[in-house]
Amino acid sequence: MKTIVLDAYCLNPNNDLSWDWLKEIGDYEIYDRTKPEELIARAADADALLINKAILDAHNISQLPKLKYIGVLATGYNVVDTQYAREKGIVVTNIPAYSTMSVAQMVFAHILNITQQVAHYAAENKEGKWTACEDFCYSDTPLTELCDKNIGIVGLGNTGMATARIALAMGMKVLALTSKHTLPEGISAVDKDTLFAQSDIVSLHCPLTEQTHHIVNQHVLKLMKPTSILINTGRGPLIDEQALATALQNKQIRAAGLDVLTTEPPQPNNPLIGLSNCYITPHIAWATAEARQRLMQIAANNLRAFKQGNPTNKVI
């Protein structure tokens, strides 16, 4: 069996993970990146493909007659035409729940950076502001205690629940937009408008669907408190970015912390880039060393299981 990895760099940018396990599967080739025009030629002999963002639509899959397996090196698998793959008898797998705690950690990295202004004060100190201060401490921004604040969590899957547990440990009150009927103590289910209106912080953890596309829009932003904070570590298109930019510019809400955007990497004219109250990280919530190692191990287990005739983590 021949396995080809089409975009390995995303998973292994520091070359700190090993692909040696592929040797036990059979022949293999590894490419850091594959341009769309290179895909067919590189994948032509593959029985199995491992991909992250490479597009395997019906047109591409139809030109790969040997292909039997697609392993997506991520949780989301929208890069694959799964219906067409099913028609062709191709197994598609993904990597569920590998980065739950890393993403929840990033949620609070953004929250704490905004409420405690960590990056701001570190930069101020480098410029000598504290050294020149007449008092023992230096402060030029409001600071916010999280205890007893409301955090609204949109979607109580793995990462949403992990975020809720951290919030509860910090003494916060958790509101949730969820379809779950039974909730742990301390978490209250509310409707969408109530969540956005009553929350001091809103964190997005729902999947991207037709129903959740632009779930953050002009309507809900107008409901939010002027002191509130929006966090998105889920999917970029959950937010209407122009509506959010307007809300931030008009001080309709206090700040936003985003790890994902609608277009990645962002276009230079993205309305959120450059706003002083919008803190953007480059889609790295998932990418701790521990989460990447976990992802690699699950990917290996998925491919081994497929070769043995008992595929795991199948999406089709």
Distance CA(2)–CA(8), nearest Å, equals 16
Q: Which of 24, 87, 264, 290 is catalytic?
A: 264
Among candidate residues 160, 151, 138, 140, the one with its CA nearest the CA of residue 112: 151
Q: Name the one residue in this structure whose structure tokens are 């992990």.
A: 162
Distance CA(39)–CA(287), nearest Å, equals 25
DSSP 3-state of 232: strand
Among candidate residues 150, 165, 145, the one with its CA nearest the CA of residue 103: 165
Q: Which of 42, 120, 283, 304 is catalytic?
A: 283
Q: Catalytic annotation on 185?
A: no
Q: Are 272 and 256 in contact (CB under 8 A)?
A: yes
Q: Catalytic annotation on 235?
A: yes
Distance CA(55)–CA(102), nearest Å, equals 26
End-to-end CA distance of the chain: 21
Q: Name the one residue in this structure whose structure tokens are 């899957």.
A: 157
The residues, ordered by sequence, that sit 6+ positions from 258 with a Cβ below 8 Å of its Cβ are 110, 231, 232, 236, 239, 272, 278, 279, 280, 281
HSE-CB at 261 with a 13 A cutoff on CA atoms is 21
Q: Which of 235, 254, 292, 294 is catalytic?
A: 235
Q: Catalytic annotation on 283?
A: yes
Catalytic residues: 235, 264, 283
